[in-house]
A and B are shown apart, each in its own frame.
Chain A
Amino acid sequence: MERADYERLRWRCIRRALLELDISLTRFLDQQFDQLDEEQKQTFVEMADMEDHDLWHLISGQAECNDPRMAPIVAMLRK
């Protein structure tokens, strides 16, 4: 991932509407993002574009993740 793309993603993770996502996405970027392959990184970029409540419901287990591409990333976010 190009630096500018990563930094754009970073901004979109550290400035959310919900504090819950600010914290969990920032932590994910700092601790786990590098473990993803390029395809997974693009999937995470898509996830970062989701509505805040929808994404938080996925991470907090209040909603099921039905997208097989997202499932492993959601599992990492739930840790």
Chain B
Amino acid sequence: MSIPVLKFDAVIVGAGGAGLRSAIQLSEAGLKTAVLSKVFPTRSHTVAAQGGVAASLGNSEEDHWHWHMYDTVKGSDWLGDQDAIEFMVRKANECVVELEHYGMPFDRTDNGKIYQRPFGGHMSNFGEKPVRRSCAAADRTGHAMLHAMYQRNVKANTQFFVEWMALDLIRDSEGHVLGVTAMEMETGQVVIFHSRATIFATGGAGRIFYSSTNAFINTGDGLGMAARAGIPLEDMEFWQFHPTGVAGAGVLITEGVRGEGGILRNSSKERFMERYAPNAKDLASRDVVSRAMTTEINEGRGCGVNKDYVLLDITHLDPNTIMKRLPGIREIGLQFAGVDCIKEPLPVVPTCHYQMGGIPTHYSGRVVTPQNGDPNTIVPGFYAAGECACASVHGANRLGTNSLLDLLVFGKSAGDSAVEDLKAGKAHRELPKDVADKTLARIAALDNRKGGANVFETRLAMQRTMQNHAGVFRFGDLLKSGVEKILEVEKAARQLEIKDKSMAWNTARTEALEMENLIEVAKATMLSAEARKESRGAHVRDDAPDSPEFPNGRNDAEWLKHTLFNPVDNSITYKPVNMQPLTVETIALKTRSY
């Protein structure tokens, strides 16, 4: 079967913030650049980012990149690589100013500078007091960012392939990456994108969990493709959860609801946070609240038929206050929980929000993998940036507003590295003879299989397994049984069947292909989480509690290292955290407390 081949200097998969930012570098360097996206670029999930982008511009008060670096290392619970973190925070100002020049409508101060507001975890003078570091465009920062960068790409002649799904990474026998196979949704046609540089910017995979704030599009396609191509995934046990997503839907209920006086209650209507955090109560930090909620549910004090959620009660507040101070909350309750929060409490659960781990990269954006004893051997021709990548700057937990910074800095960095490599490099390498065989076999198997597993049911089984066994608060025995269960789900995911065999706009096929990516991420997460026997950042285990020897359950002697999950044989290896920054002294280990 003859498959069309399209040749580009660079192919970028994903048109969210990281993909668009890297495309600008390549197209403006005069390189022929293709960007593939499952949706129109300005409909990427970056749109959902509201908080802002962190940069120590110092427009509102004194600030310094070194303070930002300290906050990020501390936020990461010392699992972030300090060279990558220094690189990111030092590039922040330049990236924000560039974005402004692209036309990003940042909020401004009276004297015309970019307005900056405070955000949790960002402090001045090495943790002394909060600092105003977040640059935003009202509550549409991510959206405005995508528009500005999309326009810039149009001007630079980037070629967009909209409503195309990348399917598999193409590697030759020497391990060089030569592009991707992809499917045009409108026709079902599979095409080879043959490139000299391939950049993955496919976002996160939050849909592996039953309760997730992520849009349905976040199916970890880049991670799935990398895993199938034999590239290990780094630190996949680390996922950030938000305490209050609407139970059953995942839609985020802003922290502002508790700020305005919202109270969390269990099945006995008890204000349970009084037991866990007597002072801060419902306003305790995200992880404390999430753990308390999980404990209530696990100990049988959850609500509803399945006792699997708690209640967020604002019925005691003046309805006018709710309408005025919490716009949209009543509608979220009505739409997604069938509850009028003026009269009844809202059902909520801790909800997956952000993936810290991903495809291992150097801070230059080049993908690295273990080879011949070197855990950071560059994979020629392959780059990754944004939530799908692990540089690693977020380590075990991400600071708010550092995600938009990550995609700007590392999107640009990956683009720059690709330009550098392409200018020094040679012509396209020859495609392997069996270039599309695996992709075509996967599609043929979906089309021809009879008596296989149902996609919806398999996805639901995966999501429930992840939520119940590897949620925000983790237990050794549940992780162990979770490993068995997810490997069972994997068997089903390898045997999916679809009823619709049509070519054009076959969403059943697309969802099945997405499921094959999700399961790679779910498996990596469960097995990596089971293996890490300490608590660190967002990975909190009941059997690794706070103690004088191990504050917060963190065990640096044994576990100050990155996990590498090898999807080929489900094995796990580790590599050291880079504690050496580029120019400054190491930020020394200490207990993370706020």
By beta carbon, the residue of chain B nearest A7 is B505
**Taking A16-B215, A19-B251, A23-B336 as contacts, is the C-beta distance between A62 and B328 under 8 angstroms?**
yes
> For residue A18, which residues in chain B have a CB less than 8 angstroms away from its CB?
47-48, 215
A15 with B331: CB separation less than 8 A: no
Q: Give the A-B contact count at a CB cut-off of 8 A.
A: 87
Nearest Cβ in chain A — how far from B45, in angstroms? 6
Contact indicator per residue, chain B 173-201, by CB within 8 Å of chain A (1) or not (0):
00000000000011000000000000000
Main SS class of interface, B: loop
> For residue B249, which residues in chain A have a CB less than 8 angstroms away from its CB?
19, 23
Contact indicator per residue, chain A 55-72, by CB within 8 Å of chain B (1) or not (0):
000011110000000000
> For residue A16, which residues in chain B have a CB less than 8 angstroms away from its CB?
39, 43, 215-217
B507 with A62: CB separation less than 8 A: no
A19 with B213: CB separation less than 8 A: yes
Q: For chain A, which range describes its interface: under 10, 10 to 19, 20 to 34, or 35 or more residues?
A: 20 to 34
A53→B163 CA distance, assembly (Å): 21
**Taking A20-B251, A23-B251 as contacts, is the C-beta distance between A11 and B510 under 8 angstroms?**
yes
Nearest Cβ in chain A — how far from B265, in angstroms? 25
A60 with B250: CB separation less than 8 A: no
**Taking A11-B510, A19-B251, A23-B336 as contacts, is the C-beta distance between A52 and B47 under 8 angstroms?**
yes
Nearest Cβ in chain B — how far from A8, in angstroms? 5
A22 with B505: CB separation less than 8 A: no
A4→B505 CA distance, assembly (Å): 6
Nearest Cβ in chain A — how far from B253, in angstroms? 12
A4→B186 CA distance, assembly (Å): 8
A10 CB within 8 Å of chain B: yes
A19→B351 CA distance, assembly (Å): 13
A10 with B328: CB separation less than 8 A: no
B214 with A19: CB separation less than 8 A: yes
A62 with B327: CB separation less than 8 A: yes
Q: Which of A1-28 contact B (CB under 8 A)?
A: 3-4, 7-8, 10-12, 14-20, 22-24
Contact indicator per residue, chain B 37-64, by CB within 8 Å of chain A (1) or not (0):
0110011111110000000000000000
A59→B47 CA distance, assembly (Å): 17
B504 CB within 8 Å of chain A: yes
A48→B39 CA distance, assembly (Å): 12
Q: Which of B206-252 contact A (CB under 8 A)?
A: 212-217, 249-252
By beta carbon, the residue of chain A nearest B49 is A17
Nearest Cβ in chain B — how far from A26, in angstroms? 8
A13→B502 CA distance, assembly (Å): 20
Nearest Cβ in chain B — how far from A47, in angstroms? 14
B185 with A11: CB separation less than 8 A: yes
A8→B46 CA distance, assembly (Å): 22
Of B43, B212, B213, the most chain A CB neighbours within 10 A belong to B43
Point out the residue from A7, A10, A15, A62 that lies within 8 Å of B216, measured CB to CB.
Answer: A15
B215 with A19: CB separation less than 8 A: yes
Point out the residue from A17, A59, A78 that lies within 8 Å of B45, measured CB to CB.
Answer: A17
A78→B333 CA distance, assembly (Å): 12
**Residues of chain A at the chain B interface (Cβ within 8 Å):** 3-4, 7-8, 10-12, 14-20, 22-24, 51-53, 59-62, 78
